[in-house]
Amino acid sequence: MNDQPRRRRTATEEVPLGQQIVNSSNSEPEQVETFVGPDPSTITTERLIPSGITLLNCACSDLPFGAFALGSINTIPGKSASGKTELMLSMLASCAISPRFNNHLLINDDAEHAMGFNLEYLFPPLVDRMKGPRYEKDEPIYSETIQDFEANILTLCRGKSPFIYVLDSLDSLTSTQELEREWKNALKNVKSKEALDELKKTYGTEKARIIGEVLRMVNKNIKKSDSALFIVQQTRQKIKSGPFDFGPDWITAGGEAPFFYSFHRVFLNGGKAITAEAKNIKHQIGGHTKCEVVKNKLTGKRRKSGVEFDIYDDFGIDDVASCVDFLKTTGFWWTEGAFMFAPGILGDQERMYQKDLIRYIEKENAIYALQSLVGKIWNEIETEIRVSDRKRRF
Q: Specify the CATH number for the domain of residue 211.
A: 3.40.50.300
Residue 30: the pLDDT is 45
Above pLDDT 90, what percent of the chain? 58
Determine the average pLDDT of the residues in 307-321.
Answer: 97
pTM confidence score: 0.84
125-166: pLDDT as tens digits:
999 999 999 999 899 999 998 888 989 998 999 899 999 999
Instruction: Reply yes or no on whether the pLDDT at 36 is more than 50.
Output: no
Residue 244: the pLDDT is 53
Instruction: Reply yes or no on whether the pLDDT at 179 is more than 70.
Output: no
Task: Give residue 195's domain range.
Answer: 43-238+249-271+292-298
Q: Between these two residues, 197 and 89, which has the higher pLDDT value?
A: 89
Q: Between these two residues, 194 and 196, which has the higher pLDDT value?
A: 194
268-310: pLDDT as tens digits:
999 899 999 999 999 999 999 999 999 999 999 999 888 999 9
Determine whether 258 is exposed, middle or buried from the number of CB atoms within 10 Å of its CB (0-12, 13-18, 19+): buried
| 350 contacts 337 by C-beta, under 8 angstroms | no
State which of 22-26, 158-162, 248-252 shows the largest mean pLDDT.
Answer: 158-162
Say what the alpha-carbon torsion angle 278, 282, 286, 291 is, to the nearest 10 degrees.
130
Q: At 115, is the pLDDT very low, low, confident or very high (cuts 50, 70, 90)? A: confident
CA distance linking residue 366 with residue 11, whole number of Å:
13
Domain count, the chain: 1
CA distance linking residue 319 with residue 308, whole number of Å:
9
376-385: pLDDT as tens digits:
999 999 999 9
CA distance linking residue 201 with residue 212, whole number of Å:
16
What type of residue is 15? V
